[in-house]
Amino acid sequence: MPESESTEVAAQSPVGAEGRRRFLKLIAIGGGTALAGYYLAQFPGVVPAPPEGLEGVPQRTRRWTMLIDLRRCDGCGLCTDACRLEHNVADGQEWMKVYTRTDNDGEFFLPRPCMHCENAPCIKVCPVNATFYNEDGLVVIDEQRCIGCRYCMAACPYDARYFNWSEPVEGDEILSPTRERGHEDHQRGVVEKCMFCAHRTDEGRLPACVVGCPMGAIYFGDANEDFLSNGPEKIRLSAVLASQEAFRWKEELGTEPRVYYLPARR
Amino acid sequence: MGKILVTRLEKRLMLPLVRFGPRFWIFTAALLAVIAWGAYAYSVQLREGLAVTGMRDRVSWGLYVSTFVFFIGISHAGTLVSAILRVTHAEWRKPITRLAEAITAFALIVGATMVIIDLGRPDRLQHVLLYGRIESPILWDFISISFYLAGSLLYLYLPLIPDLGTLRDKMPRRARIRRWLYSRLAARWGDTPEQRAHLDRAIAVMAVLIIPVAVSVHTVVSWIFGMTLRVGWQSTIFGPYFVVGAIFSGIATIIIVMAAVRWLFHLEKQILPVHFRNLGLMLLALDIALMYFTLSEYLTASYMGASRDASWLSLLASGPYAPMFWGMVFGGFLAPALILGITRARMVRWTVIAAVLANVGMWFERYLIVVPSMAAPQMPTEVATYWPTWVEWSILAAAVAGFTLLLVIFSKLFPVVSIWEVQEHVSALPKTVPATQEAIE
């Protein structure tokens, strides 16, 4: 007699099936709320909406591109210094780093900014959307959001990312009061890197490293306009890519870097 | 004063809960000292930043991440082993499932803590909830590990309920707080047939559910590495490779903890040589699978000698990591296999030695997966160097001590061997042992 049995049991233990069911229901409600909260957080509204009147207009109007002529680079490192001054880069970091390589004809140099990959591995892995494409498609970092997990550094194939391991220390040359800064405040425990001087390009100025290069080896501009400049000279990107042996670093990885190189030996 | 009848088994298993000898206090004090030292080291790290570690921009993950992977691996001990044995009705498992389940829960807690310690901005941990991107493997981990921890705690708790009822009824009167605790946790367990049926069902469901969750956990941990473009990490076999390694180190941990508990609490009648023998055989099987995976991982990378593979492999085979690498292969994988493979050596002592070797080897393995892949140059530059600092070693020691302390506390609050399941097991044996009734109090 299953019926009488169960009533007997219910009498013995006051918390019977009902209490358990209520408990499970509470768990289900709690879990459901957490999940719903998660999906709401994914929703637009948390992410800034496009400016009024611009809905539907393509957000990316620029395709910032850099071209570095390795034949002109003499490895002086002034691009690195210009970058350090511009961004108040912490000691021990080189957002624009010049690598030295040796081949049969001797040494040559490879300056490496952030490649601002169009298929950026760092952006893919970031757990909190602290690194993302800005409206011009540049790979930028929100230092206020970064949790310092450094997954993006593990994912970057170009070693372009740097971590503020300690309180960032400003170099002596940084202290000039007239200097305009790309970064006012660096903070400990977050990742930073080259940002293609987004604050300068917004004003129509060339990045600091481009201006800082005495050899005119670095060209910068908008690929949509097919127009790059190193300051004094102006070039057509499409013409250079078609006529010269331009390459991108680690093309085979499919990261689609925005930085092209012209070989050191031709 | 009414006398409470306690069986000999109950007495044996409840004694550790009421008897606190000097050995316990000294051991606990030593563990607390190590943890306090680790906490001090972490406070230094919070004050000065991660610069106090050996990590730098090139090798930006080190000891903490390796230890995270190691402890998450250990957590597979538990649930996976005990769940699989439960699902397959392996009766011999009964005295050891609780230990395995406790190891799981505590290893998860310690492992997850290691990630938080590794963060540059632990004060922003809530960003993972507020802004979490489901596309990031770290989120996969976060979700998977949360599920596993919740499931493991539930799976640890459910089979505890009947014992909590026993404890509520039979603990000495003077242990008033504990009696209160047990009576709350026992959830009015009355040992009725209906309650039994529900409990059996709940345990069976959890055992089945927890297996895929456990497999997913170490799979997505491996995918943190596997999803990158780095040499040595971008490997299709990383998921199963990590899961096999996880179960391997998990079983090894059960064997070690089992031996410690058996010796400390005099449970020679409950934890038998057959348990060491069976777990030793499982360890051997996993060891062989692990060696197979290791061979396919490194042979496919080395055979053609692609330049980027070669520069990474040379670090392992003959470079700065060679002592660790060959130590892992010979000491951590081959030696345990030999020890466990020789039938005569399949004694308790040798099984424990093999388990210790296996666990040290597995910690090496985790370290060798994380560090050399980052040290190998991926740009035209030198090999990066990394050596953990005193801060990292101290926190590692504190993690091991914390894991041990959690087990010690657990063993002093709850019977480490499931009383009701062993009783069931004993009464199911053909020769029933007359349960001697003894009175305490």
**Residue A57: pLDDT band with limits 50, 70, 90:** low
Which one of B45, B48, B50, B57 would you mutate to disrupt binding with A, by most A Cβ within 10 Å of its Cβ? B57
What is the average per-residue pLDDT within B359-364?
A: 97
Q: A112: which strand partners?
A: A97
What is the average per-residue pLDDT within A72-93?
A: 91
Are both A43 and A106 inside the same structural domain? Answer: no
Model confidence over B149-178: pLDDT tens digits? 999 999 999 999 999 999 998 888 888 889
Which chain B residues are Cβ-neighbours of A6 within 8 angstroms? 194
What is the average per-residue pLDDT within B304-332?
A: 92
Are both A28 and A105 inside the same structural domain? Answer: no
Long-range contact set of residues B182-187: C-beta below 8 Å, sequence gap at least 24: B185/B157, B185/B160, B185/B161, B186/B161, B187/A15, B187/B161
Are both A38 and A77 inside the same structural domain? Answer: no
Nearest to A162 among B50, B57, B137 (CB): B57
**Residue A40: pLDDT band with limits 50, 70, 90:** low
Query: What CATH number belongs to B4-270+390-440?
Result: 1.20.1630
What is the average per-residue pLDDT within B129-140?
A: 95
**Mean pLDDT computed over every residue of chain B:** 91
Q: Check whether B61 has a pLDDT greater than 70.
A: yes
**Mean pLDDT computed over every residue of chain A:** 83
Are both A220 and A251 inside the same structural domain? Answer: yes
Q: Check whether B424 has a pLDDT greater than 90.
A: no
Q: Does A77 touch chain B (CB under 8 A)?
A: no
**Residue B347: pLDDT band with limits 50, 70, 90:** confident
Q: What local confidence, expressed as pLDDT, does residue A92 receive?
A: 87
Q: What local confidence, expressed as pLDDT, does residue A58 receive?
A: 55
**Cα dist from B396 to B32, B168, B205, B368, whole Å:** 14, 37, 36, 16
What is the average per-residue pLDDT within A49-75?
A: 77
Q: Check whether B433 has a pLDDT greater than 50.
A: no
- Residue ranges covered by each domain of chain B: 4-270+390-440
Tally the domains of chain A: 2
Q: Which of residues 150-189 of A touch B (CB under 8 A)?
A: 150-151, 153-155, 157-159, 161-167, 188-189
Q: B253: which strand partners?
A: none
Which one of B114, B133, B221, B222 would you mutate to disrupt binding with A, by most A Cβ within 10 Å of its Cβ? B133
Are both A71 and A159 inside the same structural domain? Answer: yes
Tell me if A159 and B195 make a contact (CB, 8 A cut-off). no
What is the average per-residue pLDDT within A162-180?
A: 67
Tell me if B188 and A129 make a contact (CB, 8 A cut-off). no
Are both A37 and A127 inside the same structural domain? Answer: no
Q: Does A205 touch chain B (CB under 8 A)?
A: no
What is the average per-residue pLDDT within B97-103?
A: 93
Q: What local confidence, expressed as pLDDT, does residue A104 receive?
A: 86
Q: What local confidence, expressed as pLDDT, does residue A56 receive?
A: 60
| Side-chain-side CA neighbours of residue B295 (13 Å) | 9
Q: What local confidence, expressed as pLDDT, does residue A43 receive?
A: 52
In a domain, residue A56? The reply is no
A197 vs A16: which has the higher pLDDT = A197
Are both A79 and A148 inside the same structural domain? Answer: yes
The ipTM of this complex is: 0.90
Q: Does A146 touch chain B (CB under 8 A)?
A: yes
| B80 to chain A, closest Cα gap in Å | 24
What is the average per-residue pLDDT within B282-302?
A: 94
Which chain A residues are Cβ-neighbours of B224 within 8 angstroms? 151
Q: Check whether A85 has a pLDDT greater than 60.
A: yes
What is the average per-residue pLDDT within A158-165?
A: 96
**Residue A25: pLDDT band with limits 50, 70, 90:** confident
- Name the residue of chain A whose CA is nearest to B137's CA: A125
CATH number, domain of A139, equals 3.30.70.20
The two structure tokens encoding residue B272: 């038998």
Please work out, in degrees rounded to the nearest 5, the angle formed at the alpha carbon of residue B136 by the alpha carbons of B131 and B140.
95
Q: What local confidence, expressed as pLDDT, does residue A229 receive?
A: 95
Rg for chain A, CA atoms, rounded: 27
Are both A45 and A80 inside the same structural domain? Answer: no
Pick from A112, A113, A116, A126: which is nearest to A62 by CA? A116
What is the average per-residue pLDDT within A132-154?
A: 94
The two structure tokens encoding residue B371: 């560090």
Q: Does A93 touch chain B (CB under 8 A)?
A: yes
Q: Check whether B432 has a pLDDT greater than 50.
A: no
Q: Check whether B260 has a pLDDT greater than 90.
A: yes
What is the average per-residue pLDDT within B291-303?
A: 93
The two structure tokens encoding residue A106: 């001797």
Are both A123 and A38 inside the same structural domain? Answer: no
Which chain B residues are Cβ-neighbours of A133 within 8 angstroms? none
The two structure tokens encoding residue B208: 């089945």
| A178 to chain B, closest Cα gap in Å | 31
Q: Which of A174-188, B144-158, B367-381, B398-412 bottoms out in mean pLDDT, i.e. has the lowest?
A: A174-188
Pick from B160, B147, B165: which is nearest to B202 by CA? B160
Are both A34 and A89 inside the same structural domain? Answer: no
Q: What local confidence, expressed as pLDDT, does residue B151 receive?
A: 93
Q: What local confidence, expressed as pLDDT, does residue B86 receive?
A: 87
Q: Check whether A11 has a pLDDT greater than 50.
A: no
Q: What is the distance between the alpha carbons of residues A160 and B381, in angstroms, rounded to a whole number?
A: 13
In a domain, residue A59? The reply is no
- Name the residue of chain B whose CA is nearest to A150's CA: B60
Are both A255 and A161 inside the same structural domain? Answer: yes
Q: What is the distance between the alpha carbons of residues B232 and B245, in angstroms, rounded to a whole number?
A: 17
In a domain, residue A77? The reply is yes
Tell me if B119 and A147 make a contact (CB, 8 A cut-off). yes
Phi-psi region of A108 (alpha: psi -120 to 50; beta: other; left: phi over 0): beta
Q: What local confidence, expressed as pLDDT, does residue A47 receive?
A: 47
Secondary structure, 3-state, chain A: CHHHHHHHHHHHCCCCHHHHHHHHHHHHHHHHHHHHHHHHHHCECCECCCCCCCCCCCCCCCCEEEEEECCCCCCCCHHHHHHHHHHCCCCCCCCCEEEEEEECCEEEEEEECCCCCCCCHHHHHCCCCCEEECCCCCEEECCCCCCCCCHHHHHCCCCCCEECCCCCCCCHHHHCCCCCCCCCCCCCCCEECCCCCHHHHCCCCCCHHHHHCCCCCEEEEECCCCEEECCCCEECHHHHHHHCCCECCCHHHCCCCCEEEECCCC
Q: Check whether A170 has a pLDDT greater than 80.
A: no
Q: Check whether A225 has a pLDDT greater than 50.
A: yes
In a domain, residue A7? The reply is no
Query: Residue A27's domain spans which residues?
Result: 20-49
A–B: how many Cβ contacts below 8 A? 150
| Side-chain-side CA neighbours of residue B304 (13 Å) | 6
Q: Check whether B38 has a pLDDT greater than 80.
A: yes
Q: Quick one: how far is CA B28 from the chain centroid? A: 20
In a domain, residue A255? The reply is yes
Are both A142 and A32 inside the same structural domain? Answer: no
Q: What local confidence, expressed as pLDDT, does residue A59 receive?
A: 55
In a domain, residue A5? The reply is no
Tell me if B119 and A161 make a contact (CB, 8 A cut-off). no
Model confidence over B189-243: pLDDT tens digits? 998 999 999 999 999 999 999 999 999 999 999 999 999 999 999 999 999 999 9
Q: What local confidence, expressed as pLDDT, does residue A154 receive?
A: 96
Which chain A residues are Cβ-neighbours of B381 within 8 angstroms? 99, 159
Which chain B residues are Cβ-neighbours of A167 within 8 angstroms? 49
